[in-house]
Amino acid sequence: MRIGIEAQRIFRKNKHGMDYVVLHEILEIQKTDTENEYFVFVKPGEDRCVESTSNVHVVEIACPSYPLWEQWALPRAAKKAKVDILHCTSNTAPIWCDIPLVLTLHDIIYLEKREEGSGSLYQYMGWYYRRFVVPRIVQKCVHIITVSDFERNNILAKLPIRQERITMIHNGYNDSYVPMVDERGIYMKYIEQPDYFFILGNTDTRKNVERMLISYSSYLRESEQKRKLLVTSLSEEYILQLLKKNNIEGIMPNIRLTGYVPGADLPYLYNDAFAFLFVSLREGFGIPIIESMACGTPVITSNTSSMPEIGGPDAILVNPENSDEIASMMLRLENDEVFYQRQKTIGLERAKLFSWRKTTEQLLEVYKSVCSDPT
């Protein structure tokens, strides 16, 4: 098979969820599949995280904008490479393309109602682009992949797709996420001492950062230990805006802001944390849940969308709209050692169910099926 894989953004320095998924799928393919030939289409960037091998060819395509790159440059490059199928990995695909398309729909959150003031201008532009492209492309794709049973059912309910044309494949996680001792003190680049609560920040309101800050404020009022809160990727201005809105500015001295954290440092930050808060309003999968569990760090996550499926029946599942419930679980982890240790064990066992190898094996089965019957 000659397989094209769209991986437009994997060479950018500040990667996000979908970038990591396709990156690790490609790296796993390079380790395990020598039979098929792959053409990985990327936009030039400073982080050359994948190099060509004998059967995996990295094809750089320079183009000034995401839509133009995807809608014009990508299908031209794929046609030149004479691929049998083109796998578009990040929710959208070329509308005009005569190559059989496989599409990964991580979620269809962008087809749901969006709260006013939710996210940056860049996020708004991406939201509108996906709303335009996805309904026009799904019926043209020969097969669709999604990342959880929750999202598969959601897609089938909202888009005109036959059940046999959509496959659920869980994401994996990087094998650097393991229990470890931070002998080099990586955490000290971000916070003065370990044993903190940890949040991966995002300005999208569905990530629920505001409610987690309110919960942390409640935790501080009741806690004797008053652990610090480490928050990635958000500015001081943004955090202060949320704190002032809720009249809790007094907690700011207890919060540490990291800015963007390189992927190599994240396993240490999970390991050095007391607990990880991933109390999103809506997720298609939620890789950070598994990353934290694999490090042996307890996770407080939501009882909505895909998160119970990924975290498992024994995970700490809370109502993400109830800040008191979130704070209560933070305090329980702090005050109940038996409960805390049990959650560490539950997480470590749960993480064993997920791997990029398993993800890629299932992905190859889809490729084989599509290539044998591209209609």
Question: Which of 3.90.1150.10, 3.40.50.720, 3.40.50.2000, 3.30.750.80 would CATH assign to domain 186-351?
Answer: 3.40.50.2000
pLDDT in tens, 165-202: 999 999 999 999 999 999 999 999 999 999 999 999 98
Are 285 and 147 in contact, with CB atoms under 8 Å apart? Answer: yes
What is the distance between the alpha carbons of residues 372 and 375, in angstroms, rounded to a whole number?
A: 9
- The average confidence (pLDDT) of the chain is 94
Binned at pLDDT 50, 70 and 90, residue 114 comes out as low
What is the distance between the alpha carbons of residues 299 and 270, in angstroms, rounded to a whole number?
A: 10
What is the distance between the alpha carbons of residues 152 and 169, in angstroms, rounded to a whole number?
A: 10
Residue 15 pLDDT greater than 60, yes or no = yes
pLDDT in tens, 35-85: 999 999 999 999 999 999 999 999 999 998 889 999 999 999 999 999 999
Are 11 and 49 in contact, with CB atoms under 8 Å apart? Answer: yes
pLDDT in tens, 243-269: 999 999 999 999 999 988 988 999 999
What is the distance between the alpha carbons of residues 45 and 55, in angstroms, rounded to a whole number?
A: 22
| Number of neighbours of residue 343 by Cβ within 10 angstroms | 24
Residue 238 pLDDT greater than 80, yes or no = yes
**pLDDT value of position 44:** 95
CA geometry: angle 362, 306, 109, nearest 5 deg: 95
Residue 115 pLDDT greater than 70, yes or no = no
**Inter-residue long-range contacts of 311-315, CB under 8 Å, 24+ positions, other chains counted:** 311/286, 311/350, 312/346, 312/350, 314/346, 314/350, 315/289, 315/343, 315/346, 315/347, 315/350
Instruction: List the chain domain ranges.
Output: 2-172+355-372, 186-351
User: How many Cα atoms occupy the beta-carbon half-sphere of 75 within 13 Å?
Assistant: 15
Q: Determine the CATH number of domain 2-172+355-372.
A: 3.40.50.2000
Find the mean pLDDT for residues 77-98: 96
Domains 2-172+355-372 and 186-351 share a fold: yes
Which residues, in sequence order, are CB contacts of 268 under 8 Å at separation 6+?
Answer: 180, 182, 186, 187
